[in-house]
Amino acid sequence: MRTTVAALVGAVLLTGGLAACSSEAPTSSAPQPPAIKPVAETSLAAPAASGDQPKGITYDVKRIPVGAQLSTGSSVANGQTTVELKVSGLLPNTKYGSHVHTKPCGAKPADSGPHYQHTKDPVSPSVDPKYANAENEIWLDFTTDAAGAATGTATVKWEFRKGEANAVIIHATHSSTEHGKAGTAGDRLACLTAQF
């Protein structure tokens, strides 16, 4: 009888232990940030001569080769937004700037419009660090590893207005924080159309 009870208790403990191991979200620990949901992913192409443009475009094949891979995604929790950009096939050990812009990619680098801003700068172009900063815009600057890959992430205390954030641009340098140049990051080298 005693062995039977012990065996039963053991079986219950084992089952409980297995259930705890396989459960997805333990209720006792701190809240986990939600997983990044994919928004857009593609390999880059040259711009089309006319008409519909590829989802991902390189404007400078020397600094961002055709075939380079870009993917972006985002998550929202408690009024905060996290955006992630993953790149591969770029130049090795190189600094690039990156931001979320307002319009989809077009044949010309300027077609993607200005940076998305939570509080819009009444002055355009926006180079005032009061508006052009990493808290009011999405800055995804990154430095590639020896293989030409990198991940850029940003977390801000707001959510995108629907329909107003439509592309991720990769620039030639990291973003400036200087007055009069804030948010600028050199030439627009590549663009990924991504509707956040």
Residues of the shown chain interacting with Cu ion in the complex, contacts defined by CB under 5 A = 99, 169
User: Measured at CB, which residue is nearest to Cu ion?
Assistant: 99
Q: Are 139 and 175 in contact (CB under 8 A)?
A: yes
Q: Among residues 68 and 85, whose Cβ is nearest to Cu ion?
A: 85
Residue from 42, 102, 108, 97 nearest 72 by CA: 42
In angstroms, give the least distance from the CB of 21 to Cu ion. 45
In angstroms, give the least distance from the CB of 171 to Cu ion. 5
In angstroms, give the least distance from the CB of 134 to Cu ion. 12
Q: Are 103 and 113 in contact (CB under 8 A)?
A: yes
For residues 189, 159, 183, 83, the Cα torsion angle rounded to the nearest 10 degrees is -40
Can you tell me whether residue 77 is helix, strand or coil?
strand
Q: Among residues 82 and 173, whose Cβ is nearest to Cu ion?
A: 173
Q: Among residues 15 and 143, whose Cβ is nearest to Cu ion?
A: 143
